[in-house]
Amino acid sequence: MPDVAPILQLDDVRYRWPGRTPFGLHVPTLTLARSETVLLLGESGSGKSTLLSLICGTIIAQSGSVSVAGHSIASLSAGKRDRFRAEQIGLIFQQFNLLPFASVRDNILLPLQFAPERRSRILNLNAEAKRRCRDLRLPDDVMTAQAGTLSVGQQQRVAAARALIGTPPLIIADEPTSSLDAATQATFLELLFAQSRAHGTTLLMVSHDARLSPQFDRVIHMADIAQNVRDTA
Amino acid sequence: MILRLAFGSLVARALTVGMTILAIALSVALFLGVEKVRTGAKASFADTISGTDLIIGARSGSVQLLLYSVFRIGNATNNMTWESYQDISSRPEIDWIVPISLGDSHRQFRVMGTTPAFFERYKYRSDQSLAVRDGAIMSDIFDTVIGADVATTLGYEVGDPIVVAHGLASFSEHENQPFRISGILEKTGTPVDRTVVVSLEAIEAVHVDWQSGAQIPGQATPANVIRQMDLEPQAVTAALIGVKSRLQVFGLQRSINEYPQEPLLAILPGVALQELWQIVSIAETALIAVSAMVVITALIGMMATIFSSLNERRREMAIFRAMGARPRVVLGLLVLEAALMAAIGAILGLALLYVGLFIGQPLIDSAFGLWLPIEAPTMREVWVLLSVVAASAIVSTVPALRAYRMSLADGMMVKT
């Protein structure tokens, strides 16, 4: 019944970076429902990146549980976790999101290499990549262009197309608009919202910019859900 | 697609990757080139004499006999008497026999007395005969035929007179009997190129006024008197033999080696050549070792390039990881990349080799008499190329493992 379970569920998660750093992160609880758009606000150093790494399974909490689409991430082997991430989560970063030397088409199709289920939902890879580009108002001729030759705004839209292709249930965007100017920022968000609503995808966006708040279903402040803990033990 | 991405990543770093590939290509070309020269030298060495079944001479070592009779290196310790020569030549197994008389020189070149049959019987490079480039073979006692190197080094042409020196150091010359060049041979790549060929009688003629290695004082027999004399030689240095049936070679060899009247030695040229090559093979091994070191150096250079590229490519790895690639995909990508570079380098090296051969073949042939055949790569060469690719894949695992650990630690976040 994974479809009934919340797309993301964190319970009493405690994580401490390896080594001697005394800092750690404690998230008592965090739940994201399906098709929800959520803005996670937090200052830099508030543990946003750590939280995202925990959700994506590139790091594992020392205690507590992180579940994505009803699956506990900690219970998966490292290899399975990588595959699981590819299947369930579409990722967009701040910038330098793409392989600059590869074509736009190859960049968009890259996650499907590691996610056979997402791939199996697509009949014609080329057509699908092209359709995603159109949805994000990218001209058709960018498909064969080298990703590095595009403008930053276009690159971010290619990154969005890559995150959306094969319709993963969860999109995580880590400050995707911080390198864009105001006008491009607005267009980008508009398109991203339209697409995630159209496909019923959950969108979790991390930002430090509170002005974006009105566009989201829900706004969470990092300070409310997590504590930076200084381990004294 | 992963292959295409690896390729694209290489193209994006065209300059450093290009230099690395060039280094590999040059080292591969060098290695294969050395191999070519080595096998070519070995073949042309073995091609020095063919069609001759036995070489006979006074008893010494088989390599020594081969060296002085064929390669004109060193000297005979003894001659064989004309009686023994005639006795052996009358044996029924013998198809043909060509005597060789050595000991005199012209400038730095050896003079060889023989019969006209030499030009017909001496074969090199699988049954190729000697050919006269200019003039004709000798028809007079004082006629000589010179090898191609003699002609080019000393600038001789047909009709020029030459003087033969007694012994090998030219302090005493047989000035009374000047020879005339009647013919110049085509280049063969064999020691014949560096030989002055005269008739067997001519060797006797120049020594008419000599006794025990010194000229008899005041005595100078004019050439026209010499022509009337009986110039049957007392001895010859060696002889080349062809037998009627190959089956008789060993029987004849044994009976000559056991010749009761005089201690003689008969050798099979092929066997003696093998023995000689074994002596030379140490240098051969050293040559291979040096060129292998060059290939290894190029591979280490490639490893260094990959190492230095790791930092600037952290982001690329992070993107792969974020898209769901396992760390071992990152590792595989780097190994694949190295193998690709080596494969391109190897193919380029092979192409370089053929271009080099194509340009160098005539030059090397005329300068060193070494014929390097242009032919499809041998199995051995294909193995060399494959090993270079395999070795590069192995070498690249060192930086690839580092990238593996880096991408495990970085995850999908790179803070640069």
Give the pLDDT confidence of A161-179 residue by residue, as tens digits.
999 898 899 999 988 888 7
Ordered alpha helix ranges (H), B258-378: 269-312, 314-322, 327-368
B413 touches chain A (CB under 8 A): yes
Please tell me the distance from the alpha carbon of residue B196 to that of residue B192, in angstroms, as a whole number. 8
Residue pair B31/B384 in contact by the 8 Å Cβ criterion: yes
Subunit contact B319:A83, Cβ cutoff 8 A: no
Tell me the residue ranges of DSSP E strands in B158-226.
161-162, 179-185, 195-199, 210-211, 214-215
* B402 and B318 inside one domain: yes
State how far residue A161 is from chain B, nearest Cα, in angstroms: 13
Out of A85, A86, A101, name the one closest to residue B8 (CB).
Answer: A101
Is residue B319 assigned to a domain?
yes
* B219 and B327 inside one domain: no
B154 touches chain A (CB under 8 A): no
Chain B residues touching residue A58 (CB < 8 angstroms):
321, 411-413
State how far residue A91 is from chain B, nearest Cα, in angstroms: 7
End-of-domain residue from the set B203, B234, B267: B267
State how far residue B15 is from chain A, nearest Cα, in angstroms: 14
Helix (H) or strand (E) holding B123: strand B123-124
Instruction: Give me the sign of the Cα torsion angle B307, B309, B313, B317.
Output: negative
Interface size between A and B, measured as CB pairs under 8 A: 75
Token pair 């401490």 in the structure block, residue? A16
Nearest to A202 by CA among A190, A222, A216: A216
Spacing of C-alpha A134 from chain mean position: 21
Chain B residues touching residue A148 (CB < 8 angstroms):
12
Please tell me the distance from the alpha carbon of residue A211 to that of residue A160, in angstroms, as a whole number. 21
Nearest to B371 by CA among B41, B51, B113: B41
Query: Which two tokens mark A54?
Result: 């925990």
Please tell me the distance from the alpha carbon of residue A105 to that of residue A90, in angstroms, as a whole number. 16
Mean pLDDT for the stretch of residues A129-157: 88
Query: Which two tokens mark B298?
Result: 């190029």
Is residue B254 assigned to a domain?
yes
Chain A residues touching residue B326 (CB < 8 angstroms):
78-79, 82-83, 114
pLDDT for position B215: 64
* B138 and B251 inside one domain: yes
Is residue B165 assigned to a domain?
yes
* B38 and B153 inside one domain: no
Is residue B61 assigned to a domain?
yes
Subunit contact B412:A101, Cβ cutoff 8 A: no
The CA R_g of chain B, rounded to the nearest whole Å, is 32
Chain B residues touching residue A87 (CB < 8 angstroms):
324
**Structural domains counted in chain B:** 2
Query: Which two tokens mark A125?
Result: 């890879």
Domain with B145 in it? 54-267
Subunit contact A113:B11, Cβ cutoff 8 A: no
Subunit contact A96:B329, Cβ cutoff 8 A: no
Subunit contact A83:B324, Cβ cutoff 8 A: yes
Subunit contact A85:B324, Cβ cutoff 8 A: yes
Is residue B152 assigned to a domain?
yes
Question: Residue A124 contacts by C-beta under 8 Å, 6 or more apart in sequence?
Answer: none
Out of A49, A82, A162, name the one closest to residue B325 (CB).
Answer: A82
CATH number for the domain that contains residue A151: 3.40.50.300
Residue pair A85/A60 in contact by the 8 Å Cβ criterion: no
* B96 and B152 inside one domain: yes
Nearest to B102 by CA among B211, B208, B196: B196
Ordered alpha helix ranges (H), B122-181: 148-154
A53 touches chain B (CB under 8 A): yes
Angle at A35 between CA A31 and CA A37, to 5 degrees: 70
pLDDT for position B95: 93
Q: Which of B312, B412, B414 to mutate to test the interface with A (most CBs of A within 10 A)?
A: B412
* B31 and B73 inside one domain: no
* B23 and B96 inside one domain: no
| A1 pLDDT tier (thresholds 50, 70, 90) | very low
Is residue B274 assigned to a domain?
no
Q: What is the pLDDT of residues A74-131, one digit of tens each?
A: 888 888 888 888 899 998 888 778 888 899 999 999 999 888 888 888 889 889 888 8
Burial of residue A77 (CB within 10 Å: 0-12, 13-18, 19+) is exposed
B323 touches chain A (CB under 8 A): yes
Token pair 């579409």 in the structure block, residue? A90
Residue pair B305/B401 in contact by the 8 Å Cβ criterion: no
Q: What type of residue sits at position A128?
A: E
The CA R_g of chain A, rounded to the nearest whole Å, is 18
Residues in B 261-320 with any Cβ partner in A closer than 8 A? 315-316, 319-320
Please tell me the distance from the alpha carbon of residue B304 to that of residue B314, in angstroms, as a whole number. 16
* B175 and B201 inside one domain: yes
Residue pair B240/B115 in contact by the 8 Å Cβ criterion: no
Chain A residues touching residue B329 (CB < 8 angstroms):
114
CA distances from A78 to A3, A11, A58, B408 (A): 24, 21, 8, 10
Is residue A138 assigned to a domain?
yes
Chain A residues touching residue B411 (CB < 8 angstroms):
53, 56, 58-59
* B36 and B58 inside one domain: no
State how far residue B20 is from chain A, nearest Cα, in angstroms: 19
Global confidence as pTM: 0.73
Query: Which two tokens mark A55?
Result: 């959700």
Subunit contact B323:A58, Cβ cutoff 8 A: no
Q: What is the pLDDT of residues A2-47, one digit of tens each?
A: 456 788 888 888 888 777 666 788 888 888 888 899 999 988 777 8
Residue pair A203/A174 in contact by the 8 Å Cβ criterion: no
B405 touches chain A (CB under 8 A): no
**Structural domains counted in chain A:** 1
Q: What type of residue sits at position B215?
A: Q
* B403 and B293 inside one domain: yes
pLDDT in tens, chain B (416 residues): 888 888 888 888 889 899 999 999 999 999 999 888 888 888 777 788 888 999 999 998 888 999 889 888 888 888 999 999 999 999 999 999 999 999 888 888 889 999 999 999 998 877 888 889 888 888 888 889 999 989 988 889 898 888 876 655 444 555 666 788 999 998 888 889 889 999 988 888 777 766 666 666 666 666 667 777 777 888 899 999 999 988 889 999 999 999 999 999 999 998 888 888 888 888 888 888 998 899 999 899 989 988 888 887 888 888 888 888 888 888 888 899 899 999 999 999 999 999 999 998 888 877 776 778 888 888 888 999 999 999 999 999 999 998 888 877 777 666 54
Subunit contact B316:A99, Cβ cutoff 8 A: yes
Query: Which two tokens mark A96?
Result: 């330098």
* B101 and B156 inside one domain: yes
Sheet strand arrangement including A63-68: A71-72, A63-68, A8-16, A23-32, A227-230
Q: What is the pLDDT of residues A196-213, one digit of tens each?
A: 888 889 999 998 888 888
Residue pair B31/B291 in contact by the 8 Å Cβ criterion: yes
Chain A residues touching residue B413 (CB < 8 angstroms):
49, 52-53, 58
Subunit contact A91:B413, Cβ cutoff 8 A: no
Subunit contact A53:B322, Cβ cutoff 8 A: no
Is residue A71 assigned to a domain?
no
CA-nearest residue to A81 within chain B is B324
A5 touches chain B (CB under 8 A): no
